[in-house]
Amino acid sequence: MEVLGRHLLLELFLCDEKVLDDQDAIEKFMKEAARVSGATIVESVFHRFQPHGISGVVVVAESHLAIHTWPEHAYAAVDFFTCGAEIDCWRAYDYLKKVFAAGDFAVKEIERGGERDAAGRLVHRKLNDKL
């Protein structure tokens, strides 16, 4: 498989509920996570839902870092997708676990890309390949 990018799916449990409902803190932490990974920030957009919860994305030159929080469940879901080998998504993961005071967490890394066909075009992986 030709890997064009890496995608980390983070599950952060038992987090600080107040932090998960603080839009300014969430944006600050997500931007810093992008920085510590080595990514180049292009733009960010965050939204606070009523009565609670934040969604946001930090667009980076290498792709994106996105979050949705459920303060009422002390839970946050984070995606970090990046292209290229210079970005260290795992540093962002370690940073976010710390700043959200996650008591439990899980992560899955997915390699993004496919196989080359006879003409050199990128096509899907075989059906029996797992993500």
pLDDT digits 0-9 by tens, 2-52: 777 889 999 999 999 999 999 999 999 999 999 999 999 999 999 999 999
Top CATH class, 2-123:
alpha beta
Instruction: Put the strands of the sheet holding 54-60 in their side by side order.
Output: 41-48, 54-60, 63-70, 75-83, 2-13, 104-116, 122-123
Structure tokens at 52: 């609670």
| Domain spans, the chain | 2-123
Confidence (pTM): 0.86
Q: Is 82 exposed, middle or buried (0-12, 13-18, 19+ CB in 10 A)?
A: buried
Q: Among 100, 95, 96, 93, which residue's Cα sits nearest to residue 70?
A: 100
